[in-house]
A and B are shown apart, each in its own frame.
Chain A
Amino acid sequence: MSTLGSRLLRTTIIGKDTPIHKLDPRTKFLYFFWISLLGYIFYDFVLTFIFLVVNLLLAVVGKVVRRILLTILVIIVPWIAIAAPILSLPLGFPWNETIIYRINLFGMELPVYQEGLGWAITWPLRIAVTISAALLFMLTTKLGEIIALFFKLRLPFRALYMIAAALQFIPLLADEVGTIYQAQLSRGLKTKASIVRRVFNFLALGIPLTLSAISKVQIRAIALESRGFSAPVEKTLMYELRFKSVDYVFFAAIIFFTGVLAYIYITMGYSPIVRLRYLFG
């Protein structure tokens, strides 16, 4: 395979030997659910930020922090940058009530509300927690392990294959786009043109790409069929899922923190830190 496709495929395969990679996929999947759920149970941007930091620390251990951080920054920072000024000012958020600061804007003194600001920061952070936990799972778990996990969760094998094959098919199509693009350029496709012209250019790429994709899918289907894909027997999973000591340590930590956070929730409510008076007045 040529450049782009193999690069994409290689970047989806991070075969490192870290404690996070060694965790059973079930443990990592449970963690993804657990931390995401906590993010939504607590309406507290400080606590949610702590969850995000925990995810990033685990990503450091798993040596995948750069990619996760980059993804988070691309998604979350613009969101907060746009939402915070709108929601924290008057009329920006219907539940604005608590003034935490006043700013001077074009000669007008405007109050900054805790509710709007909190919402503008908490929601992107919640999403960041979910995305970072999902990426931590995806980037440190081999595709075969993921298949084994979902197979254990009794998802139909054909559905699993569709998802997995789609993931691997994208790089193949990326290569195909490159080839078709070069072919069309060689035949006089103009890249600097009006919008209408560019739409037609898109068709010049889209049609051959679609036809090529259909053909590739058919060939692959034939190849799979020739290798017993539809045999009516129970498939053997190449990966054997087995809990190790590191998984039990992780479970223990999850149980411990679930207890601590449950106590906090019961005694201090769903916004335990942002409502601390000495922090936010």
Chain B
Amino acid sequence: MGEDSVVIRFENFSYSYPDTPNVLVDINLKVEKGEALGIIGPNGAGKSTLCKAMNGLVPHFYGGYINGRVIVAGMDTLEHTVAELSTKVGLVFQEPENQLSGLALTVEEEVGFGLAMLGYPREEIKDRVREALEKVGLSGLEERSPFELSGGQQQRLAIATVLAMKPEIIVLDEPVSLLDPIGKREVFEAVKELKKTGSTLVIAEHEIEELAYIADRVIALNEGRIVMEGEVDQVLADVEGLRKITVEAPSVAQLTHILRERAGLEVNHYPIRLEEAVKLYEEVLRK
């Protein structure tokens, strides 16, 4: 990993909320430019806190106790305000409705809100809004009220609000956890499109099957510590390792694991995506 290409760096980072100790413990992590990092782990593992540490909400908004440091796009999060970091890191939250500014009546205004807060010229805001809406597939809905959109559309709108800021890093904190299957598909499609554009993505997610298609690398958190780290194919295929921290591996990996354990299936590596599993089992059946 070349040092020049590292855009997020956690150095011996530990954090405690004012009322909850050791939410993150001794985190050392590097994310390269253009990389998609998946964060998995059980509830309460510290995934959201880790995401919030990337844009400075931890500790600027929450207070608490901090050790070590986080460098994002060359900026120490402790030395820069959340507003300053907002042009470097865009954070998409779980609940789409709560991300709406409350000041915008239309989708267009909502997407432009962050830029307006930072004092960008009106013409540039309009251009960026158009561009961001195109990227998430919401073009044509500019004049609609954000509150009239479906859950999936609202979450894509939230992503657009982040894209309009043109951040170097986009952090998504369980962006589909409150959406129905259609909404989830819409959001994942938008995220996959983002990945194609070479954006640096960090995505905390329980939907491990989808993460297999998005992430290049995955870390697993448990009780605030990184307990697994590696390439996506390596981490998500570690069925036993994931089970220890109460995370279920992708179904195809689990199936292969069970067949290997019970039926003696001979495989070198567990598939984590459906297509890989189909290919593997075609070969097995042919044999």
Binding site for B on A (CB under 8 A): 1, 5-6, 9-10, 13, 15, 142-144, 147, 161, 164-165, 168-169, 171-172, 216, 219-238, 240
- Asked if A9 contacts B119 (CB within 8 A), the reply is no
- Asked if A224 contacts B101 (CB within 8 A), the reply is yes
Closest chain A residue to B85, Cβ basis: A226
* B93 interface residue (CB < 8 Å to A): yes
A7–B109 Cα gap in the complex (Å)?
Answer: 20
Question: Which residue of the partner chain, among B84, B99, B112, B143, contacts A231 with CB atoms under 8 Å?
Answer: B84
Closest chain B residue to A157, Cβ basis: B117
Question: Which residue of the partner chain, among A6, A147, A219, A235, contacts B147 with CB atoms under 8 Å?
Answer: A6
- Asked if A223 contacts B98 (CB within 8 A), the reply is yes
* B86 interface residue (CB < 8 Å to A): yes
- Asked if B145 contacts A13 (CB within 8 A), the reply is yes
Question: Which residue of the partner chain, among B98, B148, B161, contacts A6 with CB atoms under 8 Å?
Answer: B148
New contact pairs (9) apart from A5-B147, A164-B103, A229-B117, CB-CB < 8 Å: A143-B103, A219-B98, A223-B101, A225-B57, A228-B82, A228-B117, A230-B83, A233-B119, A237-B116
- Asked if B116 contacts A235 (CB within 8 A), the reply is yes
Q: Given A227-B114, A228-B117, A236-B122, A222–B93 Cβ distance below 8 Å?
A: yes
Q: Sample 28 A-B pairs with CB under 8 A, ordered by A number.
A: A1-B97, A6-B147, A9-B147, A10-B145, A142-B105, A143-B103, A164-B103, A168-B100, A168-B102, A171-B147, A172-B97, A219-B98, A220-B100, A222-B52, A222-B61, A222-B93, A223-B98, A225-B60, A226-B82, A226-B86, A228-B114, A228-B165, A229-B117, A230-B81, A231-B83, A231-B86, A237-B116, A238-B109
A216–B98 Cα gap in the complex (Å)?
Answer: 7
Could you give, for residues 155-172 of chain B, a 1 whenever the CB lies within 8 Å of some chain A CB and a 0 otherwise? 000000100010000000
Contact residues of B between 97 and 147, Cβ < 8 Å to A:
97-105, 109, 112-122, 125, 143, 145, 147
Task: Quote the shortest CB–CB distance from A11 to chain B (angstroms).
Answer: 11
- Asked if A227 contacts B148 (CB within 8 A), the reply is no
Binding site for A on B (CB under 8 A): 52, 55, 57, 60-61, 81-84, 86-87, 90-91, 93, 95, 97-105, 109, 112-122, 125, 143, 145, 147-148, 161, 165
Question: Which residue of the partner chain, among B57, B102, B148, contacts A10 with CB atoms under 8 Å?
Answer: B148
A165–B112 Cα gap in the complex (Å)?
Answer: 17
Task: Quote the shortest CB–CB distance from A57 to chain B (angstroms).
Answer: 27
- Asked if A223 contacts B93 (CB within 8 A), the reply is yes
- Asked if A225 contacts B82 (CB within 8 A), the reply is yes
- Asked if B118 contacts A233 (CB within 8 A), the reply is yes
- Asked if A220 contacts B102 (CB within 8 A), the reply is yes
Chain B hits for A1, CB < 8 A = 97, 147
Chain A hits for B121, CB < 8 A = 236
